[in-house]
Amino acid sequence: MIIIMLGAPGTGKGTVAGLLEGKLGYKQVSTGDIFRKNIQEGTELGKLADSYISKGNLVPDDVTIKIVQDRLNQPDVQNGIILDGFPRTVAQAEALDNILANKGKKIDMVLNLTTPEEEIIERIVSRRVCPNPQCKTVYNVVMNPPKKEGICDKCGNELVQRKDDNEETIKSRIATYMEQTSPLVEYYKNQGVLRTEEVSQKINRLGKDVANDIERDIKNQK
Ligand code: AMP
């Protein structure tokens, strides 16, 4: 099973992907997390990625595609994968189609999350994340705070705010999404694999509600 998470920053891709990994056992692979780990470790890839991420721009396609191509060869994703944050350009989507075709695999579902822009900005500036790679729980200091301020409920790690989660960078991340990533909605609609879900406080529909519905539908298909 191959699931792709699509959607602007702050729509809840990581949250839904993490919940689905727990429910369905498919591996969540986030290109953003791979870049952040490299930035933290000070690798060459990290230095390169940081120069784009800190400005709200995309890391170049050739670099990103190579990372995902290598990741798709690893044994832990053979049963199923939830790609969280990839592809983000038409060139990446085409490359992914080729990589999968060579393996005799195909995309089963592209889950396109939508959220009103004002909610996105609010949500991103209030977002805090657990930096423990085994946990990665996402909190919101207003809507979904941890029990003890600044501490992850699940693993006790100190929560952090992502460097690119500030109002200035968010605006350019949203613009980048509109220009470079949103054409993928049409791309995958044409492939007949798109499923669009609104995640919004306004309609009282959160990431966990979407994840529950997807879990139910996938289990019913089997
Ligand atoms: P995310 O954690 O998915 O919000 O990603 C954080 C940042 O990493 C993005 O704003 C991009 O700068 C970069 N990034 C993540 N995935 C990709 C991708 N597929 N292509 C290019 N850049 C990416």
Q: What is the pLDDT of residue 26?
A: 97
Catalytic residue flag (residue 71): no
Closest CA to 108 of 212, 195, 18, 197: 195
CATH number of this structure's domain 2-115+181-221: 3.40.50.300
Shortest-distance atom of ligand 1 to CA 88: 19
Q: Could you report the per-residue pLDDT of 116-145, keeping only the tens digit for each? A: 998 999 999 999 999 998 898 999 999 899
pLDDT in tens, 51-83: 999 999 999 999 999 999 999 999 999 999 999
Q: Is 109 in the pocket of ligand 1 (CB under 6 A)?
A: no
Residue 173 annotated in active site: yes
User: What is the Å distance from ligand 1's center to 221 Cα?
Assistant: 31
| pTM of full prediction above 0.95 | no
Listed by start position, the domains of the chain span 2-115+181-221
Q: What is the CA(219)–ligand 1 centre distance, in A? A: 30
Dist CA 221 CA 31 (whole Å) = 29
Is the bond preceding 133 in cis, omega lying within 30 degrees of 0? no
Among 23, 27, 55, 162, the one annotated catalytic: 162
